[in-house]
Structure 1
Amino acid sequence: MVNEVNEELLAAVERVVRTVVAEEVTPRWRRLAAEDVIEKNGPYDLVTTADRRAEERLTEELPALLPGSVVVGEEAVSADPDVLKRLDGDDPVWVVDPVDGTANFVRGEDGYATLVTLVQGGEPLASWTYVPERGLMATARRGAGAYLNGQRMHTAAAPDGTLRVSTSNPVFRTEQERVLIGRLEAAGAATRSCTCAGIEYLELARGGVDGVAFFWELPWDHAAGLLLVTEAGGASLTVAGEPFRIPGGNALPFSIARDAETARRIIELMGA
């Protein structure tokens, strides 16, 4: 069992993430060959050689830092959905998204991130959000705050009072999702489309947006951001009135926002 994540482990994981990204991801940015990009479930669901190699490396190296821990990675679950069941066990779990925002990465845009979260008993203990092309490393520890490049982060409202909400990418929206997002906009919310969940959560943690309204619960997309935002002062809420759960089984949609009242407001405005 993991009682707490100390500074030594926090720094060791950061070193591993930075090294793996430097060796497997950034050298392939804007240098992908056609055979490096594969469609998993259509033209908007992509995986690249960078995703696969980075996840393989992280799967090898992270458990070595914490004996007895296991890994739940996006690509491993894609190959074997039973891997997701590890989140229901007692072992510490590294939840890994090797390249969050793969479509951005493929287009040569800098809006991609590598996300790692240490979870046990369904609860996030520590997280690392690395946006290499922008020089951003955000870390959080349960009960110890959220930091960006070593500086404490705090959620914040817009100076003019506008409700700023990040929500799903239009290419993935169902008709029902379009209706719910339309209600937010009709109520005066300023919405923006998410193409990299990790970056949107980082923006929320440092006061750039007020909340997210999301319609999917894949743990590698949300685990790091959930801890980052809550440690910066935020809160999560599903349409069932419960906090968001990393292992799944959430009533959707859900919001993670700068505070509990804002999360509640986003859910109520959608009328889901």
Structure 2
Amino acid sequence: MTRPVNDPLTEAVYAVMADAADRAIRPRYQHLAASEIIEKAHDDLVTVADKESEAILSEGLAKILPEAAIVGEEAAHADPAILSRLGEDLCWIIDPLDGTNNFAHGRPPFGILIALAQGGETIGGWIFDVLSGRFCHARRGEGAFLNGERLTARPTGTEPPVAAISLMFADSDRRAALQTHIAPHYTLVDIPRCAAEQYPRLALGVNDVSIFERTLAWDHAAGVLFLNEAGGKAARFDGSPYRVNEDRKGLIGASSPALWEELAARVAEI
């Protein structure tokens, strides 16, 4: 990988993510015991690798910016009061193993997501694919990068556009409306159940658009910034920016602003 240059913060974050991958995640891939997989809720798993990765990441990030609060997915699950820290002046947001269901079943994709927010706005995002080593990052106002090289988002160029639409967290009426009014205008592909994969797909010419119903900060903060800095567009259904400290549903990601506008107009009609 071409390492990021002239960005000490990204260098430091990358080192912490690589450490968590090496020590907690990669050694357990396809080697989990049944007792090391727990169902937090229906179809929502956590593994020993998630917990150990979060501990390593939390410790490492605290050394980089001791003044920043830390909100990790598993810590917030254990104590929802931690979510109040998302709006603090500086806050690390950690998804220690994004795509846990895939990982627990011994298949890709899965990765690590880290974001840094300031007053509820994401100012840094880092996405690490544990198996391939692909490293995506963005800093607010500084562009998006893939393995250290500047990246510009590109559509697939196919017609109709390629859409990955998550229906998992939509109610039955919403699901039916999406299938009836949105799906016919796109070539539908399966969602990867991994934001660390979905956002890069939108920037790399694999998918054109995505609809997300649930928009938890650890799943989306890094990817939204990355896609926007790459020249695509990710925003709420009404066009308002994504903020990590808002408990709202609904988000559209697209490889270009034009594709975003087209899908948003259709969503507004249902």
| TM-score of the pair, normalised by structure 1 | 0.91
Change (3 A) 1:160 1:205: closer
Q: Is the 8 A contact 1:206 1:232 kept in 2?
A: no
Q: How many residues align?
A: 263
Paired residues for 1:36-75 under 5 Å: 36-42=36-42, 44-75=43-74
Paired residues for 1:217-232 under 5 Å: 217-232=215-230
Q: Provide the identity percentage.
A: 35
Ranges of 4+ aligned residues in structure 1 off by more than 6 Å: none
Name the residue aligned to 2:263: 266
Q: Give the C-alpha shift of residue 146 in structure 1.
A: 1.2
Structure 1 gap segments, 5+ residues each:
1-5
Q: Is the 8 A contact 2:202 2:208 kept in 1?
A: yes
| More off after superposition, 65-74 vs 96-105 | 65-74
SS of equivalent to 1:146 = strand
Name the residue aligned to 2:178: 181
CA RMSD, Structure 1 to Structure 2 (Å):
1.7
Amino acid at match of 1:220: W
Q: Is the 8 A contact 1:55 1:97 kept in 2?
A: yes
| Aligned-partner Cα distance in 1 for 2:37–2:174 | 29
Paired residues for 1:124-135 under 5 Å: 124-135=122-133
Q: Give the C-alpha shift of residue 124 in structure 1.
A: 1.3
Amino acid at match of 2:49: A
Name the residue aligned to 2:158: 160
Q: Is the 8 A contact 1:46 1:103 kept in 2?
A: yes
Q: Is the 8 A contact 2:140 2:229 kept in 1?
A: yes
| Aligned-partner Cα distance in 2 for 1:46–1:95 | 19
Change (3 A) 1:242 1:189: farther
SS of equivalent to 1:67 = coil
Amino acid at match of 1:212: S
| Aligned-partner Cα distance in 1 for 2:174–2:22 | 37
| Aligned-partner Cα distance in 2 for 1:130–1:154 | 18
| Aligned-partner Cα distance in 2 for 1:119–1:59 | 15
Q: Is the 8 A contact 1:154 1:207 kept in 2?
A: no
